[in-house]
Structure 1
Amino acid sequence: METIDRYNIRVYALCIEDQNILTLFESYCGKDLLKLPGGGLEFGESILDCLHREFMEELNVKIEIIEHFYTQETFLRSLYQENEQLLTIYYRVKIKDFDNLKIQVPEIKRAEWFPLSAPNPFCLTVDQLVFEKAQHFFLK
């Protein structure tokens, strides 16, 4: 097992409309997975700027950041890079110009609204936790 010598800070968004959450079907490191919109923080970039950039790069839309939702509280080693420790941060957002939504990167196969009332569809541990928190908070 390699020593952890890098941090990978990831910033993701919960875009919720009518009790549905926006999800992306993406191919990453040769595996298909369901994820929330967002991605990796770049050097010199703020967390909020990262979210704005990721939405523009991936989906060609502008967002309004509503509030912080969750920051990972436990140690998490990257599944894809053994020497990386992950830190994930989640915000609630609203898409300002939904009519402009267009997938911009080939790794994203499709974007889909997923019902919060459905069983948890995520395979990554922190995404599972965040989905459960969203269910508790938004389902009434």
Structure 2
Amino acid sequence: MSYFNVRVYGLLINENNEILISDEQSGGRTFSKFPGGGLELGEGLIDALKREFMEECNAEIQVIEHLYTTDFYEQSSFNDSQIISIYYLVRELKPLELHFKTLAFDFDEGTLQSFRWVPLDQLSTADVTFRTDQTVIELLLNRRK
């Protein structure tokens, strides 16, 4: 049985023009993506994004604007679902209190997620794993020209 998997992600750019990337391990795979995750039944997109930022980053965010919604077919890397991802530009309401890393997949003991800032002038599609995230990076970089 095929089904849709709706995901919502936040692009958080700090005052140093760096974007927040989440490095994770799940289902035996490592991947880099933007903070965010799956929409739960009965939840709105903005509420889901705020929940995901609280769960992943322990941070309250404000949604600034919609940036992109998947406009091509993407099969999930983890199951039979079709992924539909919605991306928003966001800002933190208070400084993030995370232990930021400089290397991808530099997990602290007992965790399978780490965060790092990537300068926008060095950002490339190679910084993220999934096709939709790579599409968003291209869009973001073209927008900034």
- Normalising by the residue count of structure 1, what TM-score does the alignment of the two structures yield? 0.87
Q: Which amino acid aligns with 1:50?
A: A
Alignment partners' CA distance in 2, 1:47 and 1:41: 7
Alignment partners' CA distance in 1, 2:89 and 2:96: 19
Q: Any idea what the Cα deviations from partners look like across 1:16-69, whole Å, max 9, x if unmatched?
A: 123211001111211111110000000010000000000001111100100000
Which structure 2 segments of 5+ residues have no match? 101-109
Which structure 1 segments of 5+ residues have no match? none
Backbone CA RMSD of aligned residues: 1.8
Shift of residue 76, structure 1, vs aligned partner: 1.1
Q: Which amino acid aligns with 1:69?
A: L
- Normalising by the residue count of structure 2, what TM-score does the alignment of the two structures yield? 0.84
Detail structure 1 runs of 4+ shifted over 3 Å in the superposition.
Answer: 99-103
Q: Are 2:12 and 1:7 aligned?
A: no
Alignment partners' CA distance in 2, 1:47 and 1:64: 13
Q: Are 2:138 and 1:132 aligned?
A: yes
Aligned length: 133
Q: Which amino acid aligns with 1:87?
A: I
Q: Are 2:112 and 1:107 aligned?
A: yes
Equivalences for residues 1-140 of structure 1 within 5 A: 4-17=1-14, 18-81=16-79, 83-101=80-98, 106-108=111-113, 110-118=114-122, 119-120=124-125, 121-138=127-144, 140=145
